[in-house]
Chain A
Amino acid sequence: MRNLKTDYFEDLQLFKDGLQLFWSAVLLLLLFALPFFVKTYYLTIINLMAVNVVVALGLNLLVGNTGQISLGHAGFVAIGAYTTVLLLKAGVPFIFALTASGLVTGLFGVLLGIPSLKLEGPYLAIATLAFGLAVTTVIGRMDFLGGRMGMNVPKISLGWTGLKYDQSLYYVIIIITILAVIATRNLLKSRIGRAFQAIRDSDIAASAIGINLTKYKLYSFGISAFFAGIAGSLWALYLGFINPTLFSFILSINFLVIIVLGGLGSITGSVMGAIVLTYLNLQLEDVVEIPILGDALLRFSELFMTATGVSNVSWFLTGFILILVVLFEPLGLYGLWLRTKIYWKRWPF
């Protein structure tokens, strides 16, 4: 195994070595071959995971890397989704609608970032929380956005691919997600990503070495919202129908849980967190059907939490996961992954 570097560019290139390139290629092939082997249902699960990955990448940039907080990311996802639907209805081609959704949402991100220059910690959390709630309330009152009833999302023209609509949509979502991962990775390796992390670790030192705090905090909010907007656009597309209740406060919390579970400030963490939590949430919807546990949870829930049964079991569990992560592995799944890697590298010592 070669450990020594001979060129500084080796720290910038996408794949560390041939082995990493090989496994990435295998994963890529697998992802692209998938639609020919699995049922549409599984494709939609992967779609949902991918959309969550895109939101998590953006949110992690803001929370994990820049050290700001947002409890209103569902609001950004909503803005992205509604922008896309409006533009598609007006006959704008999807690629432009997608870009515009990202940019419009990014602009909202910058606007929300302005109070962040003065607010910190809990105060910023409240401001972003209010933003998230306000977005859905406002959308709910606008008739041209479908109000509380919601809107159908026009299908985009993917006939030229020669595949079924669901399959083509899967490719669109996967490709954009992969691009988002690469973009985030390059951003974080660059002067801009470093500036974000400098602000997180010490804003005094960051300003003393010439980083304009105002500019870079707004960049971070803007980019984070851009990702959420792109994700919202994709989400609308595969749901086929959107209404304001989809973008609830719980969704914002869910995004936060994803990045904390996955690992704050880590791209691998964003990806792992989104995949694991999306899967868990889906599985927990059927938790009552588990033989003994389901029954016990149902009774527990009715006794202590709510009369409606186990609808909140997934929240209960995500809360529990968060506590475990904070107590035992602050770097989340990414931390676990790192430890495993180091363990195998050093084995048998």
Chain B
Amino acid sequence: MAFFQIDNLSKSFGGLKAVDQLDFQVQEKEIFSIIGPNGAGKSTIFNCINGLYKPEQGKILFKGNNLIGRRPDQIASAGIARTFQNLELFAHMTTLDNIMLGRHLSMKASIAAVLGLSFKRSKAAKEELQHRRKVEEIIDFLELESARDQFVSNLPYGKQKLVELGRALALEPDLLLLDEPAAGLTQEEREDMVFWIKDIRDLLGITVILIEHNMQMVQNISDRILAINFGKPITTGTPEEVLGHPEVIRAYLGEDITQV
């Protein structure tokens, strides 16, 4: 049984088949990339995994359990965290609060309990502080100290991406879905991002599926790659196999590349 497996998944919008009978498997502690031209259906796959979309058919198996029909918050509690292509941050909150929100599922204080928050000995305060320490570890890991008390809407784009990554990490997921983690980053920020994603897998033992357009990064980071176009798989394999595949080159660069 694969760690994570998609079976015969289809999702269409009206007449457009965004994902068409897709199959793939991801092994535990793998960095698995999905590539494809714009509109190939990559983000739709994430939205199906994450429960935002309801696919028409197929199965999404995570550690053997089918995720289809579950709400996004249930999927989060099953151990899957994600980031979004066009940042979905809590813009009017600080970096600290954004990442603290990633701890929401592991915190249990009830409405009655949180009323005692301002007393140091209350259960709610103890829980809050315990999770605060965890969040500070993540802030430390992603070097976000200077952004801690700033509203995320005031942060530069690169930092905002890190806050979103930090929030996902705060869930302590088993599977992390990264939707274009390097889009819009500078060369230097991108190199840091590669370094962090590798650390996330190597040090934290989290399996990563990522969607990315930067081929250099994909090649550098991935154990395996899935290339899709029009919602259908072109090929799966190691970076060398996939990026050298003629169909993949054609999908990215167009039909008549040889004649130019």
Report the bound CA distance from A194 to B102 in whole Å: 10
A201-B89, A201-B93 known; A208 vs B118 contact (CB < 8 Å): no
A24 interface hit (Cβ, 8 Å): no
Using a CB-CB cutoff of 8 Å, which residues 187-218 of chain A contact chain B? 187, 189-195, 197-198, 200-202, 204-213
Chain B residues within 8 Å of A208, by CB? 50, 52, 72-73, 76, 81-82, 84, 88
A8-B133, A197-B90, A201-B93 known; A191 vs B72 contact (CB < 8 Å): no
Chain A residues within 8 Å of B144, by CB? none
Interface size on A, residues (CB 8 A): 36
Using a CB-CB cutoff of 8 Å, which residues 78-103 of chain B contact chain A? 81-82, 84, 88-93, 97, 100-103
A9 interface hit (Cβ, 8 Å): yes
Nearest residue, chain B, Cβ from A197: B93
Report the bound CA distance from A208 to B104 in whole Å: 11
Chain B residues within 8 Å of A209, by CB? 73, 76, 81, 101-102, 104-105, 167-168, 171
Nearest residue, chain A, Cβ from B71: A207
Write the nearest CB–CB distance from A105 to chain B, whole angstroms.
Answer: 16
User: Which listed residue (A182, A198, A219, A265) contacts B118, Cβ 8 A?
Assistant: A182
User: Which listed residue (A185, A190, A202, A213) contacts B90, Cβ 8 A?
Assistant: A202
Q: Are the CB atoms of A201 and B114 closer together than 8 Å?
A: no
A13 interface hit (Cβ, 8 Å): yes
Q: Are the CB atoms of B91 and A201 closer together than 8 Å?
A: yes
User: Which listed residue (A200, A204, A212) contacts B71, Cβ 8 A?
Assistant: A212
Report the bound CA distance from A229 to B120 in whole Å: 30
B206 interface hit (Cβ, 8 Å): no
A12 interface hit (Cβ, 8 Å): yes
Q: Are the CB atoms of A205 and B84 closer together than 8 Å?
A: yes
Nearest residue, chain A, Cβ from B153: A201
Q: Are the CB atoms of B117 and A189 closer together than 8 Å?
A: yes
Could you tell me the dominant secondary structure of chain A's interface residues?
helix
Write the nearest CB–CB distance from B85 to chain A, whole angstroms.
Answer: 12
Report the bound CA distance from A147 to B168 in whole Å: 55
Nearest residue, chain A, Cβ from B164: A205
User: Which listed residue (A195, A197, A204) contacts B92, Cβ 8 A?
Assistant: A197
Chain A residues within 8 Å of B100, by CB? 191, 194
A-B contact count (CB 8 A): 125
Interface size on B, residues (CB 8 A): 43
Chain B residues within 8 Å of A206, by CB? 90, 101
B107 interface hit (Cβ, 8 Å): yes
Q: Which of A185, A198, A200 has the most CB of B within 10 A?
A: A198
Task: Say which one of B12-20, B123-131, B154-162, B241-249 lies at the interface with A.
Answer: B123-131
Q: Are the CB atoms of A202 and B88 closer together than 8 Å?
A: yes
User: Which listed residue (B52, B93, B114, B129) contacts A192, Cβ 8 A?
Assistant: B114
Write the nearest CB–CB distance from B30 to chain A, whole angstroms.
Answer: 22
Chain B 110-140 per-residue mask, 1 if CB under 8 angstroms from chain A, else 0: 0100111110100011001100110010000
B234 interface hit (Cβ, 8 Å): no
Chain A residues within 8 Å of B116, by CB? 186
A104 interface hit (Cβ, 8 Å): no
Q: Are the CB atoms of B111 and A187 closer together than 8 Å?
A: yes
Nearest residue, chain B, Cβ from A184: B115
A92 interface hit (Cβ, 8 Å): no
Report the bound CA distance from A192 to B109 in whole Å: 8
Q: Are the CB atoms of A210 and B118 closer together than 8 Å?
A: no
Chain B residues within 8 Å of A204, by CB? 52, 72, 84, 88
A201-B92, A204-B88, A209-B104 known; A14 vs B73 contact (CB < 8 Å): no
Q: Are the CB atoms of B90 and A191 closer together than 8 Å?
A: no
Chain B residues within 8 Å of A9, by CB? 120, 125, 129
A183 interface hit (Cβ, 8 Å): yes
User: Which listed residue (B51, B71, B89, B115) contacts A202, Cβ 8 A?
Assistant: B89
Chain A residues within 8 Å of B109, by CB? 190-192
Write the nearest CB–CB distance from A206 to chain B, whole angstroms.
Answer: 8
Chain B residues within 8 Å of A187, by CB? 111, 114-115
Q: Are the CB atoms of B118 and A186 closer together than 8 Å?
A: yes
In the A-B complex, the 5 residue pairs with the closest CB atoms = A190-B114, A210-B76, A205-B88, A207-B72, A210-B105
Q: Can you name 18 A-B residue pairings with CB atoms under 8 Å?
A: A8-B132, A13-B118, A186-B117, A187-B114, A189-B114, A191-B104, A191-B107, A202-B91, A205-B84, A207-B51, A208-B76, A208-B82, A209-B73, A209-B101, A210-B104, A210-B105, A211-B73, A211-B101
